Amino acid sequence: MLALASPALAHPHAFVVVRSELLFDQQGQVSGVRHAWTFDEMYSAFATTGLTPDGEPATAAQLQPLAEQNVGDLAEFGYFTVVKAPGQKIELGKPEAISMSEDDKKLITLRFTVPLKKPASAGKVLTLQVYDPTYFVSFDFAKDGVSFVGPATGCSLTVTQPKSLDDAESQKLSEAFFSGLSPGADFGIKLASRALVACP
């Protein structure tokens, strides 16, 4: 199992390239986020060990239980998906369209869609972040890794990178530091990119 929500043993333990699509409904509001997370070579190899003989690529059917298990395990972490907009309470629904595939480089990609329980307006500004609060998994948006699907006429998109940690903060990043994080600690937000969406 990928065990994305496992306790911290080393940080990060996996590196993920993120591609996210913001889904707009017919009223021009954001109704969900469609993710495609591609894992690094080492973690992909770990996750697929024993699934197929002789190193053959795993099929979608062989990977499906793994995909569903891991997305299910992320429920208590909000699927590492944070959507915010001023004056709006945004809650996530149950993920849909869950799947996983392995490419010719033997990298696995987990795909799923997180609907919003109530569509959100991006009339002022709406933000999307994808991150693990414990920094067990490092998430980074791919170049042009955030896009719109649906009627998002006139909407703008800006992706900002996090500020670098200063020397004092970097020196704290030891196993003892992470194992000592209290429940509910949100260290990962310090290192999370932010997609900002504004619509007319």
pLDDT digits (tens, 9 = 90+) for 133-186: 887 888 999 999 999 999 999 999 999 987 765 555 555 554 444 454 544 455
Q: Does any domain span residue 191? A: yes
**Strand ranges (DSSP E) for the chain?**
14-24, 30-39, 81-84, 96-102, 108-120, 126-130, 137-149, 156-160, 194-198
Q: Does any domain span residue 2? A: no
Q: Does any domain span residue 6? A: no
Count of structural domains, the chain: 1
Q: Does any domain span residue 144? A: yes
Q: Does any domain span residue 121? A: yes
Q: Does any domain span residue 1? A: no
Give the pLDDT score at 36: 98
Strand partners of residue 113: 34, 96
Q: Does any domain span residue 122? A: yes
Residue range(s) defining the domain that contains residue 65: 14-198
Per the CB < 8 A criterion, the answer to whether 60 and 111 are in contact is: no
pLDDT tens digits for range 97-122: 999 999 999 999 999 999 999 999 99
Q: Does any domain span residue 101? A: yes
